[in-house]
Amino acid sequence: MALHPGEAVALPCLNDDQQSDTGTNVVCICKGYTMSKRQSAKYKLDRRMGENIWGRPKSPVNKREYGPGQHGQRRKGKVSDFGIQLRAKQKLKGYYGDVTEKQFRACYHEAARLKGDTSQNLIGLLEQRLDMIVYRAKFAPTIFAARQIVSHGHIRVNGVKCNIASRRCFVGDEITLGTKAQEMALVMEAQSLAEREIPDYVATDGAAKVTFTRVPTLDEVPYPVKMEPNLVVEFYSR
């Protein structure tokens, strides 16, 4: 069956490593429950950055540590300060699911408004996003899957259903996974992953409930690669 970008088709639920790079929107069927699943090239950013930014074993960077395309192996020239700052912004923004520029810029302005170090504030605000807490709690194998789980109404915050992935959570908030979602293959896969641990600022209470205990600092966030939010601040404060 021929598929076209943007076309939806019903398929059995795929795990994260079975996803292709076609750009097709696939509707997964998990025990009678349907859920749209992002089917575009998740690892394009890895190739562009030359780093495995999510620490996934299936990242193409693990085999090809050079950029995409026919000129990917060419030696790159000297990068300007602006280029270094832009790269740091793209990497951090991409790690959090490639949030929109509008959302990311708003997050920076909020970080600058708060007291304290702007770069640390920026990391704290990004980690307070609901989709990121869902990802940290291992309710989803990727940040993209975490965003869809939230947008499809599978998450409750303090007992109230929330489908806004960018919602800001606060210390003491309880995040619970819905009963139907607990039976989804995608969720069960995420909880069995050994490639990452749940950080201690996300306290677990069973397999389907966590509490956000504190806003982390840069050093506490389990990034697989080095992030430089100070360069992001320099980029936006030019």
Give residue 216's pLDDT. 98
Give residue 32's pLDDT. 40
Between 81 and 43, the higher pLDDT residue: 81
* Range 164-185 average pLDDT: 96
35 has which bridge partners?
A: 28
Give residue 59's pLDDT. 57
Looking at domain 43-52+79-218+225-237, which of 1.10.10.10, 3.40.50.1820, 3.10.290.10, 3.40.50.1780 is its CATH number? 3.10.290.10
Note the pLDDT tens digit of each residue in 200-220: 999 999 889 999 999 999 999
Give residue 140's pLDDT. 95
- From residue 158, give the alpha-carbon distance in Å to each of 72, 146, 162: 48, 18, 10
* Range 224-234 average pLDDT: 94
For the chain, domain boundaries = 43-52+79-218+225-237
Between 152 and 78, the higher pLDDT residue: 152
- Which strands sit side by side in the sheet containing 33-37, from one edge to the other? 8-12, 25-30, 33-37
pLDDT of residue 74 exceeding 90: no
Q: Full-prediction pTM beyond 0.85?
A: no
> What is the Cα–Cα distance from 116 to 110, expressed in whole angstroms?
12
pLDDT of residue 127 exceeding 50: yes
